[in-house]
Amino acid sequence: MSFILALDQGTSSSRSIVFDDAGQMVAMAQREFRQIYPQPGWVEHDPEEIWQTQLATAREAIAKAGLAARDIKAIGITNQRETTVVWNRRTGQAIHHAIVWQDRRGEPLCAQLREQGSAEQIRRSTGLVVDAYFSATKIRWILDHVKGAHIAAAHGDLAFGTVDAWLLFKLTGGRVHATDVSNASRTMLFDIRHNVWDRELLKLLHVPDSLLPAVHPSSHVYGETDAALLGASIPVAGMAGDQQSALFGQACFKAGLAKNTYGTGCFMLMHTGDQFRLSENGLITTATAQVGVAPGAAGAAPDGRPDSRSNGRPTGQPNGQPNCRPEFAFEGSVFIGGAVVQWLRDGLHAIKASSEVQALAESVPDAGGVMFVPAFTGLGAPYWDAQARGAIVGLTRGSTVAHIARAALESIAFQSAALLLAMGRDAAGSGGSAPPLAVSELRVDGGACVNDLLMQFQADLLGIPVVRPKVIETTALGAAYLAGLATGVWRNLEELEALWQVDRRFHPTLPRERAQDMMAGWARAVRQATAT
């Protein structure tokens, strides 16, 4: 039997999970770390604390599994995306706290980019909307505000990376500075149609290319760990941003397959195949986790053809391109998903523990006309309204805390339904040579997917089955799959598809007319939350 260690570095905790070659969890360890809030709208992490907690959980998970490092075939890394670290290549020390994906300090620069008409150029190269969510403006902020950073960067002394690249650098003792295509696609600097750093965008954002990591396929042997860290050298053979990793872990390898992760926020991705499509309905286009192809195979990056967009930097191939076929997904992000339950607990004090919310919500037959729009930090896709604020509408004298709790749970499903409806419109009306796509089921994962009431309501709103797999730790599983493919634990995607197993299917029971009326009610509530 072979074992894979998945490092799952999230926004609030670092986890490590050992999987066997049947895709089953063997052991897990988890440690939380500090959230740093220097001022309203700013969120930071200590990169060294991220590294130390991740290393500690890796050691703990291996020990819990009763294994030694020599028993681990490979390591896969999955990570909170967009979060930005800049460090000194020689000392291996970060020059500033990591700026977290939730951080909004880059908004003034984003506004400047929009005002000067750069949004469409950025969108057509990266697939992204101009937003402080992504890494580019975070890099600029660090360079502009850390004394001597611009000069050090110009001399090639600094390195930038999302958290995957930071962990890889530390694991390999500073020998490897690299990322994968899925994480690179979240920087707002990467041309996802050609899998290269975009020279024009680097110039536009004043980001030196000397900062950038090499880019490889998501399934790729990046390097080996220092033996002293875990007790033996282990290949690091898979990396992907958390949501693309979850899409891979859900075996959504083909166009039209979609997954939704229910965590603090909700992240829905639909695989759209190898043709680049731009959304007309408020979504972004992103690179999926990509498997390398053999040199000379169909779709491989042709050797010897220079590409000016890569700035001549090595990114896995002589021409600056990683050796994989570009593949894409539509993505929509809900900023407040499961976090609304935390607000019920910590803000409203309606429950003492998050696990109590389902029983409270089920104590009433429905939400009694109450709609809860949890726009605590604005609204993400498909609305993209940073000024929206939370609203509870439809209250009457008969409304109780149970109705509010049910409306809070339902808000997660309403927001996710709005995303899938937007994806459906984009997939059906893409035009050009891209074929129309249809989603026949939604695969779900994340902590809140264990809530049966929420999953049933989600199926009722969507009118398609909602499918919960037996292994819901699909983010870590995706990283394990990627690492296992690169090291021969699994031979191909067909073997991985056979490992994916269903725990429960939630079939829609609500008449479509009633579901459409409820979505119209949700749209009215959103308009009230976004009214200025």
Q: pLDDT tens digit string along 473-490?
A: 899 999 999 999 999 999
Task: Please check the confidence at residue 318 and state whether its pLDDT lies above 70.
Answer: no
Q: What's the pTM value of the predicted model, to 2 decimals?
A: 0.86
The neighbour count for residue 303, using CB atoms within 10 Å, is 12
Task: Please check the confidence at residue 431 and state whether its pLDDT lies above 60.
Answer: no
- pLDDT value of residue 307: 34
- Helix (H, G, I), strand (E, B), or coil: what is residue 10? coil
State the Cα–Cα distance between residues 326 and 194, nearest whole angstrom.
7
- pLDDT value of residue 436: 65
- Helix (H, G, I), strand (E, B), or coil: what is residue 106? coil
Q: Which of 379, 376, 380, 377 is nearest to 392 (CA)?
A: 376
Q: Which of 344, 367, 343 is nearest to 453 (CA)?
A: 367
Q: What is the DSSP letter of 358?
A: H
> For residue 451, what pLDDT band results from cuts at 50, 70 and 90?
confident
Kindly provide the b/e burial profile for residues 35-62, where b requires at least 16 CB atoms within 10 angstroms of the residue's own CB.
Answer: eeeeeeebbbbebbbbbebbbebbebbb
- pLDDT value of residue 329: 94
Task: Retrieve residue 488's tokens.
Answer: 């021969």
> What contacts 276, CB < 8 A, 6 or more positions away?
127, 192, 193, 285, 326, 328
Task: Retrieve residue 326's tokens.
Answer: 């570009």
Average pLDDT over residues 495-524: 93
User: Nearest-5° angle of CA 309, CA 222, CA 307?
Assistant: 15
- pLDDT value of residue 319: 40
Task: Please check the confidence at residue 462 and state whether its pLDDT lies above 80.
Answer: yes
> For residue 297, what pLDDT band results from cuts at 50, 70 and 90?
very low
Mean pLDDT of the chain: 89
State the Cα–Cα distance between residues 530 and 477, nearest whole angstrom.
38
> For residue 146, what pLDDT band results from cuts at 50, 70 and 90?
very high
> pLDDT higher for 324 or 312?
324
- Helix (H, G, I), strand (E, B), or coil: what is residue 117? coil
Task: Please check the confidence at residue 368 and state whether its pLDDT lies above 70.
Answer: yes
Q: Which of 381, 380, 408, 379 is nearest to 392 (CA)?
A: 408
Average pLDDT over residues 399-408: 93
User: Nearest-5° angle of CA 491, CA 475, CA 486?
Assistant: 25
Q: In what order do the strands lie in the sheet with 84-88?
A: 44-45, 98-99, 84-88, 158-162
Residues 236, 225 contacting (CB under 8 angstroms): yes
Residues 34, 98 contacting (CB under 8 angstroms): no
> What contacts 328, CB < 8 A, 6 or more positions away?
127, 192, 271, 272, 273, 274, 275, 276, 277, 285, 286, 287, 288
Alpha-helix residue ranges (DSSP H) falling in 209-325 = 227-230, 242-249
> For residue 51, what pLDDT band results from cuts at 50, 70 and 90?
very high
> What contacts 477, CB < 8 A, 6 or more positions away?
6, 19, 23, 249, 471
Residues 286, 185 contacting (CB under 8 angstroms): yes
- pLDDT value of residue 530: 83
Calculate what percentage of the chain has a pLDDT beyond 70.
92
Task: Please check the confidence at residue 295 and state whether its pLDDT lies above 60.
Answer: no
Give the tens place of pLDDT for each residue, 236-285: 999 999 999 999 999 999 888 999 998 888 899 999 988 898 988 888 99
> For residue 321, what pLDDT band results from cuts at 50, 70 and 90?
low
- pLDDT value of residue 529: 84
Residues 98, 88 contacting (CB under 8 angstroms): no
The verdict on whether omega for the bond into residue 382 sits within 30 degrees of 0, i.e. cis, is yes
